[in-house]
Amino acid sequence: MKHRVITICREFGSGGRTIGKEVAKKLGIPCYDEEIIDRLIEKSGYSEEFIKNAGEYSVHKSWFASALSINPYQPLSPQDQVWIAERKLIEELGHENCVIIGRCADYILEDEADCLRVFIHSDFDKRAERVVNQYGETDIKIEQRLKDKDKRRSTFYQFYTDRNWGDIQNYDIVLNSGVLGIEKCVDIICSLY
Amino acid sequence: MKHRVITICREFGSGGRTIGKEVAKKLGIPCYDEEIIDRLIEKSGYSEEFIKNAGEYSVHKSWFASALSINPYQPLSPQDQVWIAERKLIEELGHENCVIIGRCADYILEDEADCLRVFIHSDFDKRAERVVNQYGETDIKIEQRLKDKDKRRSTFYQFYTDRNWGDIQNYDIVLNSGVLGIEKCVDIICSLY
């Protein structure tokens, strides 16, 4: 067993979450994604709304305004409070054998020598097709939805890690799921565990 | 057999060339690296010196000056002449089952649906160690040698492809050979052929 924790960073619509869940299932270990929010609520005492409003998908102009503003009644911004709690939780999860999806886990756990850092991407058209198939159409154009979500993820990542999201130096293996297929990606990752 | 041609782009000292040669050996197909220069001499009639002086490792200030200058006696710069000949040769090699190391082959052959585009990288320290072990020490500091060679490769790549070298979007699979090991990289690539 060479790697104990697998972190999966992914472009929106690349199937990275599905790959992570399949890998965990095959290896018989837990996969942490949305489950992290439930654990955070339980451990930190913050409300679901507070956590979601300060998390990666809420990154927009007012997020920055709030993240960077100084409030004398709050020594830390809500964003920093949630980041600190999430970081602490991921450090704890890093002691288990598990898969962790997103949330800068590759950065948080990089000093764990047995952490395998994965990035999943895919071509734009294939991602668009996957998102429409999985989540349906909305009023917002699919191109905009993909760009918007990737921008939030990359901005959040850069804000807290001082690194570029999707920069090969941050990952041990980068897979194009559109070319290789979900199943093959799962097999390759499992073979490295 | 899903992929027929494997192109390998690599950081200096990452073992990408060794991986390419091992993959070719395991699969029983040819690996083109330095062999491309011999073939170019044969096919184009250019001398070895002419080809080497216009190639990726000769990229420096005077390379640019020459590549960008207009000489009324030469409708194409030596750099462009060699690039055109090399491109034509790689397009021909793309009809075989083979491994091609470097030379923007991933870009040249990207419309070949059965081309697997690989990028190999590794951590700085591991690359430095490998280069010193393989090629010995020189008067130039190892940090400088790594930076210099990668800069030449990336500049050449960007000049002729209008893309960033090492940008994940250009590759189907990116492997950190320092973390995964040469042998495991070979196995993964072979499993995709």
Q: Do A192 and B180 touch (CB under 8 A)?
A: yes
Tell me the chain A residues in contact with residue B121 when contact means C-beta distances shorter than 8 Å: 168-169
CB atoms within 10 A of CB A56: 23
Q: How far is B166 from A118, CA to CA, in rounded Å?
A: 16
Q: Do A171 and B176 touch (CB under 8 A)?
A: yes
More confidently predicted of B79 and B107: B107
Among B67, B55, B118, B193, CA closest to B109:
B118
Question: How confident is residue B2, by pLDDT bands cut at 50, 70 and 90?
Answer: low
Predicted pLDDT at B13:
94
* Model confidence at A68: pLDDT above 80: no
- Percent of chain B having pLDDT more than 70? 98
Q: How many residues in chain A?
A: 193
Q: How far is A58 from A79, CA to CA, in rounded Å?
A: 10
User: Phi/psi at B101 (nearest 5 deg)?
Assistant: -95, 125
Best residue in A147, A175, A183, A185 for a mutation probing chain B (most B CBs within 10 Å): A175
Question: How confident is residue A185, by pLDDT bands cut at 50, 70 and 90?
Answer: very high
Structural element, H or E, at residue B8? strand B5-10
Question: How confident is residue A1, by pLDDT bands cut at 50, 70 and 90?
Answer: very low
Q: Per the structure block, which two tokens stand in for A40?
A: 């955070």
Q: Do B180 and A172 touch (CB under 8 A)?
A: yes
Tell me the chain A residues in contact with residue B176 when contact means C-beta distances shorter than 8 Å: 171-173
Q: How far is A2 from A27, CA to CA, in rounded Å?
A: 13
Predicted pLDDT at B1:
44
Q: How far is B55 from B88, CA to CA, in rounded Å?
A: 15
Calculate how close chain A gets to B65, using CA atoms only, in Å: 31
Q: Do B192 and A184 touch (CB under 8 A)?
A: yes
Most confident of A93-97, A180-184, B32-36, B144-148: A180-184
A·B CB contacts under 8 A:
48
Question: How confident is residue A113, by pLDDT bands cut at 50, 70 and 90?
Answer: low
